[in-house]
Amino acid sequence: MERRRFLGLTAAAAALGMTATVAGCGALGGDDGEVTLRLVAADYDLTGGNTTKKYWDGLVAAFQASHPGVKVQVQVESWDDVDRKVAEMVEAGQAPDLAQIGAYADYAAAGQLYSADELLSIPVQANFLPALADAGENKHVQYGLPFVASTRPLFYNADLFEKAGVKPPTTWDELAAVAKKLKAEGVRTPIALPLGPEEAQAESLTWLFAGGGGWTDDSDRYAIDSEANVDTFTWLKDELVAPGLTGPIAPGKLNRKAAFAAFARGEVGMLNGHPSLLQEAAKQGIEVGQAPLPGVDGPAKKSMGVADWIMAFKQNGHNKEAGAFLDFVFTDENVLKFAGDNDLLPVTVTASTRMETAPEHAKLRQFLKALPTAQLPPVGKTSWAKVSETLKQEMGKAVTPAGSPEAVLGSVARTASAAEAAE
């Protein structure tokens, strides 16, 4: 079972105060009076637009207006590529000053990142949701700064369910039965199973939790090829993929972004969704229903939480400038702007408190309620970036007609064991 990393806000954290103020940044800029920070950031736009770039452009313009001597250049990359491109930059000795990506621990362990203490003002650092701050630690020092969070319930197309005369499933057997009825009604993809390279590690973990497994055991050691995990993928292969219930695109070729877009077009009956899908579905007139994730014998006992990270590399020596920029990034206004625009969850105490009561964020409150029992992947493990990348490339193979869940999980487990031994 996955080690429990709960995301919820605690009373002790709330007692730190509901308003974080940004400390003065002091003199900024290099010997020539100006420093340029390079930020590589992930693209959150589900429709192929440029909303992520617009967000950063607006934030950077506001920051630069109040911080003469510091310029920020932002490079936005798709989630398919962003982790790999940052890794290639670091390998080539051209690390960006800042990276907003999926994993931080390997860079922290290699001594390549500034710690939060070296970057942030005390009020800003103290304002992170406690479990997210803990998950950003490597050897008890925080290097990963949580950027945004989400939880993953089951989403379903309410109109398609009504036409098929079905209700939200609570068990896997019910889920398969509902998918068969949707298929009989002509639904193109009764249940989407995006195991393509964009986010297969997270989609897989959602199912593993529902099946009583996880990527790690109670001792936080990898348990990738556990009996529970093999059983889960065997069920997915035999009961969903083989009968054609996952649609015309093979799961290993289907990315999350494409699955979400198909759901928003009304072509998908069910999928494991997250809040960012709500906005696009609403734009296209899709009524989204939500339900707890089905498990083997009833609703899943735990669900997955996800946090994405932002970090600052030491290579260029710009900790003062990077810290001033990050203090600005984590103001309530900017945190809520990005989270609200993308239907995601804020990572700070004060922004979460405001979202809980703000009418414009009412549709996200149920996701905030799920945070206390949601659990993260093993992001604090130095080996996680390599293991996660391997999972992205391999998990789709486990459910192909000729694929073997046991063989695929066993292969990834050996990779994980080797990576863990090298930590």
Q: Is 264 within 8 Å of 281 (Cβ atoms)? A: yes
Q: For position 382, what pLDDT does the model report?
A: 86
What lies within 8 Å, CB to CB, of 47 at 6+ separation is 261, 280
Q: Give the bridge partners for 222, in sequence order.
A: 216
What CATH number belongs to 154-291+383-421? 3.40.190.10
Q: For position 372, what pLDDT does the model report?
A: 59
Q: For position 11, what pLDDT does the model report?
A: 36
Q: For position 32, what pLDDT does the model report?
A: 56
Residue ranges in the chain whose pLDDT is less than 70: 1-27, 29-33, 371-373, 423
Cα–Cα distance between 105 and 142 in angstroms, integer? 10
Report the SS3 class of residue 241: helix
Q: For position 12, what pLDDT does the model report?
A: 38
The pTM of this model reads 0.73
Q: Is 191 within 8 Å of 240 (Cβ atoms)? A: yes
User: How do 303-312 and 288-291 pair as beta strands?
Assistant: unpaired
CATH 3.40.50.720 fits 16-150+306-375, yes or no: no
Write out the residue limits of the CATH 3.40.190.10 domain(s) in the chain: 16-150+306-375, 154-291+383-421
